[in-house]
Amino acid sequence: MTFDLTNAKERMQGAQEALQRELANIRTGRANPNILNRIEVEYYGAMTPLNQVASISVPEARILLITPFDKSALEAIVHAINVSDLGLNPASDGNIVRLAIPQMTEERRKELAKEVKAEAEKAKVSVRNVRRDIMDDIKKDKEMPEDDARKAEDQTQKLTDENIKAIDGIAAEKEKELLTI
């Protein structure tokens, strides 16, 4: 068995990407189209992601503008947003939907910051699981010379440390965004 860090790098990078996707769904008080990623609209009898039935733009810092490609989908879009867990009230004028993003309370910001830390911890656990798998593979490889095994373990630990640091950076950036008014 030969030792290859490429798979480990990809899996650890995947943990970072998953964290970024999760954090994009957390509302910060500023308008961000990503908060609508999970919204699905019933469109001609099929559940369809909102971004496939409408364009979403940010004309102002705390306003999202949703313009349906087909005006008949307008009511379904309003309904989907109302029943979502976002807690936002859509306003429709018959052609477009405006979503005003309310200012968050200090308590809500702190609550969301805890959520960010929890998501970051999940990503770190994922990275550590990859490290554990690689370390187990190194130990199982009886043909690998002891020096090479030690070097491979050091490389794996260095890669793990780099990814943990990157995850901490991603989480810190999102926390800063959350706690900035």
Domains and CATH numbers, the chain: 6-24+105-179 (1.10.132.20), 33-100 (3.30.1360.40)
Which residues, 6+ apart, have CB-to-CB distance to 70 below 8 Å?
43, 53
CB 51: neighbour CB atoms within 10 A? 15
Which pLDDT score, from 0 to 100, does residue 1 have? 44
**Cα–Cα distance for residue pair 39/77, rounded to 1 Å:** 9
What's the mean pLDDT in 80-109? 86
Question: 100 by DSSP, 3-state: which?
Answer: strand
Annotate 123-160 with DSSP letters as a single string.
Answer: HHHHHHHHHHHHHHHHHH-TTS-HHHHHHHHHHHHHHH
CB 18: neighbour CB atoms within 10 A? 14
Contact of 135 with 156, CB cutoff 8 Å = yes
Which pLDDT score, from 0 to 100, does residue 62 have? 84
68: pLDDT strictly greater than 90: yes
Which pLDDT score, from 0 to 100, does residue 85 have? 77
Question: 99 by DSSP, 3-state: which?
Answer: strand
How far from chain centre, in Å, is Cα 169? 14
- pLDDT of 114-152, one tens digit each? 999 999 999 999 999 999 999 998 888 888 898 988 999
How far from chain centre, in Å, is Cα 167? 12
Contact of 77 with 97, CB cutoff 8 Å = yes
> Binning pLDDT at 50, 70 and 90, where does residue 161 land?
very high
Question: 164 by DSSP, 3-state: which?
Answer: helix
